[in-house]
Amino acid sequence: MNYGVITVCLNSSATIGRTIESILQQSELPEKYIFVDGGSADRTVDVIKETVGSAKVSKNAFKFEIIDQRPKRGIAAAWNMGLNRLDTDLVFILNSDDWYEKDTVRKILSLFDRNREIDVIFGSARYFNSVDHRPVSVCHPRPFLWLPFLMSVVHPACFVRKDVYRKIGQFDERYKVAADYDFIYRCLRSAIRFRRVDDILTNMDLGGFASSNKEISRTELLEIGLKYGRIKVFPRMAYAMRRFLGR
């Protein structure tokens, strides 16, 4: 069983080296690593080439590709560009300011090997303060009963068989922030089989596009909740609560 990685980046030279190194330190390297760059004006692309290039000298060679996503059409479109270039058994999506624990790949590959009926495995993530780089909290998955109110899955700690995207489709590019929320809802409606693990699999810096575009996030979550949820009052309550709390 093999896996491919997609990392979407834009002006990520300060963090993307850490992201790549977290892949390179795994016990099994990816079959292919796809980077989708939105037109970085810093050294992001150079850091990718230098970090991966140096690793290929000392480790087993693996394929990597840098895709130029210009004009930018959002993160969902970038993920889809990466998916179109991968033909691996599993898909790992890792943001350019996130990084894996040292044994994440070993755990995930072993779980998929032992559970052939499972389509998606998801776990926990540790959040860091992006200013002083100290751990702040751990985000654990919530029961799917909470989905009408909030995202139950930490997407960077979510690992998917490629066949799932063939079955239900890729990410909906209409959503600028909540395409992963829409994807999880569609998985559940299509009887995709999930397996939760309680291990911390991914580390994440707090912040990002969703945090700085809260009204877009709230609106998209409401729209998706109304589209898929059976009880329409729940997503409306969640929207009102987010506005009240400023989240």
Give the model's pLDDT for residue 247.
Answer: 75
Fold for the domain defined by 3-245? Spore Coat Polysaccharide Biosynthesis Protein SpsA; Chain A (3.90.550)
The first and second tokens of residue 143, run together, are 């029961």
* Domain spans of the chain, in order of start: 3-245
CB 82 within 8 A of CB 96: no
Reported pTM: 0.93
Tokens read off for 21: 């190194």
Per-residue model confidence (pLDDT) at position 25: 94
CB atoms within 10 A of CB 133: 8
CA atoms within 13 A on the CB side of 40: 21
Closest CA to 86 of 55, 110, 62: 62
Q: What is the mean pLDDT of each run of 10 residues along the chain (247 residues)?
A: 97 96 95 96 96 67 88 92 97 97 98 97 94 88 92 95 97 96 97 96 80 82 93 90 81
pLDDT, position 61: 66
